Chains A and B, each alone.
Chain A
């Protein structure tokens, strides 16, 4: 245990903030789910419910200038990096005010301003790109880190190993974070993976590695902070596996019948939000009624964001031809 959790704020403030972030992600995704089922938008929609501790905990270790890149399951990572709920909603609704001008959609949130380098739709393809971002960091000798989220399913894509090799060979400051939620669509990763300890692949590339309980946000934060500090200081890549779980189907249209109720309820008992709520109560940092208040406040904030996003204008049809190139 670190003596003080965070150098810049009290333990109370810091842990309440972590809890509220996760709550915001949970409520946001629930609202998105509802909007999708009400057919307010279309396409694919992959939610992060159950996995909130990973990006909240890692987010607390990042600076504003660090880079984050992710897969198509990245609404909450986009929020974590500073994109507003309204802009994410607007993107989902295909509005001009969306963070990708309505051209990306659920799978392609982007923000140059917030250094959110995209949601990417091709499994594993963000991994070489993250490596390139880290190359730029080293090239300019900056004290920055590139965070690359990928899934357990992505771990069987060939191109990521080309990236691992180059990242290690050229000492690039990138942290490959496997969000191991145990399934790639309907496939339990054990069924399609010869050696199921993903981190056993790291030594072959001389990549330092770590496995972290991704259901507990304090654990994520406390174990990730020394890693990122080392990566920043020494300029080297790292492989981190977060053990986590998605509560819902792969996308909103997947009923997830391939897993047992028992399995799901086991993870729900380790819910990242309840774990953190217990912690806050145990420490005397928050009372029961405060939780209710936060819930109400954040809900109101998210609902308002959704309403504004829905009311926003669709992109001008002429913009269909814009952005193929820049001048």
Chain B
């Protein structure tokens, strides 16, 4: 084990996979000479050269489509989106092409491609730079969706994503790039579709993923200290495929569920989780499922309004107490 920042862990994942497989290349805005807008690709240009680490014009639709074509022709692109907000420019290529090519070609053209970059609100970036796009993309069959919360998970899952033969959407967060954590040394892969219990517990199952996992953990620790409620925090890590077995096992143990998401509430990932759980675990539930989402507003700029729009620890605590009827 060694301590690494999130950006170092992601960087290592890319460097190792590029060293391992010549067909892997990295393309995006500022990824080469500037080392990445958030310095995630630091040093990769020097290591792998300008043929494999490529600065693009600000042409998201164009280079996303280029990635799809390169993947059809046998390469394994990593396409960095400076943030997912800008990837909206490329949704035609992601949704109409990357996601469907395999299916509509009768399995002839799979797309081994990773679209990766930061997702969700940071701090006071305003409505166009603070969006969490999980729900928009989980809705599309043909995309695998990963959302990570720790450096180790980042490394292990990004390596698997690069090796996966399908398009993988990989969500990071600019708020986490500097965060440090233990990362196993040597070859380290985490399979897609396996959730992780970030905090074992017995009384309430708290489902979460991505950056907000840390807020959920803070709430859980506070609940243990102040309210004596033992919360199990499950980091889904992969939204598609989804580790349903682990979720149901936890619910059958705790009988209570709180979902904490950075999504807008309407038809969110949490909505889907709630639907699955009530169907599979109806008789196990001792309380209705609670869901904490961000407010259904474009994320405002002003500090106090942004605070009001994003999920906060107190809301999670209140929701956990509510499902415990306390």
**A43:B30 contact, CB within 8 angstroms:** no
- Is B19 an interface residue, CB under 8 A from the partner? no
Instruction: Give the complex CA separation of A273 and B301 in angstroms.
Output: 33
Residues of A within 8 A of B33 (CB): 186-187, 191, 258
CA distance A161 to B309 in the complex (A): 36
Find A94's partner among B129, B303, B308 (CB 8 Å cutoff): B303
Number of A interface residues at 8 Å Cβ cutoff, please give it. Answer: 41
Decide yes or no: A43 and B125 within 8 Å by CB, A157-B89, A187-B29 being known contacts. Answer: yes
- B125 touching A153, Cβ below 8 Å: no
Task: Judge whether B34 is part of the interface by a CB distance below 8 angstroms.
Answer: yes
Closest to A193 in B: B57
Of A100, A187, A315, which contacts B30 at CB under 8 A? A187
Cross-chain contact A186 with B304 (CB below 8 angstroms): no
Residue A302 is within 8 A (CB to CB) of chain B in the complex: no
Q: Are B305 and A42 in contact (CB under 8 A)?
A: no
A44 to B124: give the CA distance in the assembly, Å.
8
Interface on chain A toward B: helix, strand, loop, or mixed SS?
A: loop
Asked if A317 and B55 make an inter-chain contact with CB atoms under 8 angstroms apart, the answer reads no
Please give, as numbers and ranges, the residues of chain A lying within 8 Å of B305 by CB-CB distance.
94, 102-103, 315, 317, 319-320
Majority SS of interface residues in chain B?
Answer: loop
- How many Å lie between the Cα of A43 and that of B55 in the bound state? 25
Complex CA–CA separation, A272 to B62 (angstroms): 36
Contact A105 B301 (CB under 8 A): yes
Q: A158 to B55, Cβ gap below 8 A?
A: no
A105 touches B304 (CB 8 A): no
* Complexed CA–CA distance, A60 and B88 (Å): 37
Tell me which of B30, B85, B86, B88 contacts A186 (CB under 8 A): B30
Cross-chain contact A258 with B57 (CB below 8 angstroms): no
Is A184 in the interface zone, CB < 8 Å from B? yes
- Contacts A102-B300, A158-B62 known; A120 to B34 CB distance under 8 Å? no
Measured CA separation A315–B295 after assembly (Å): 17
Contact with B along A154-194 (1 / 0, CB 8 A): 10111100000000000000000000000011110001110
Task: Check if B124 sits within 8 Å of A43, measured CB to CB.
Answer: yes
Instruction: Kindly state the separation between the CA atoms of A317 and B305 in the bound complex, as whole angstroms.
Output: 6
State whether B57 touches A153 (Cβ < 8 A). Answer: yes
Let me know if B124 and A154 touch, CB within 8 A.
no
Which of chain A's residues have a CB closer than 8 A to the CB of B73?
A: none
Residue B296 at the A interface, CB < 8 A? yes
* Complex alpha-carbon distance, A229 and B302, angstroms: 40
Most chain A CB neighbours (cut-off 10 Å) among B30, B125, B300, B301 = B301
CB contact between B58 and one of A100, A102, A108, A157 (< 8 Å): that residue: A157
Known A43-B126, A121-B128; contact A191-B55, beta-carbon cutoff 8 A: yes
User: Residues of A contacting B124 with CB < 8 Å?
Assistant: 41-43, 94, 105
B61, B88, B308 — most chain A CB neighbours (10 Å): B308
* Contact between A105 and B61, CB atoms less than 8 A apart: no
* Contact status of A184 and B308, CB under 8 A, knowing A103-B127, A103-B300, A105-B301: no
* B123 is an interface residue with CB less than 8 A from chain A: yes
Q: What is the CA–CA distance of A154 and B305 in the complex, to the nearest angstrom?
A: 30
A158: B residues at CB distance < 8 A: 59, 61-62, 89
Contact present for A122 and B295 (CB under 8 Å): no
Query: Which residues of the other chain, B, contact A122 by a CB distance below 8 angstroms?
Result: 85-86, 88-89, 128
A95 at the binding interface (Cβ < 8 Å) = yes
A153 with B126: CB separation less than 8 A: no
Contacts from B to A (Cβ < 8 Å) = 29-30, 33-34, 37, 55-59, 61-62, 85-86, 88-89, 123-129, 295-298, 300-305, 308-309
5 A-B pairs (CB sep. < 8 Å): A41-B124, A44-B129, A94-B302, A156-B57, A319-B305
Nearest 8 Cβ contacts at the A-B interface? A94-B302, A105-B301, A156-B57, A43-B124, A102-B302, A121-B128, A192-B57, A186-B34
Q: A187-B33, A321-B295 are in contact. List 11 more A-B contacts (CB 8 A).
A: A43-B301, A102-B300, A103-B302, A108-B128, A122-B88, A153-B58, A156-B58, A184-B57, A185-B34, A187-B34, A314-B304
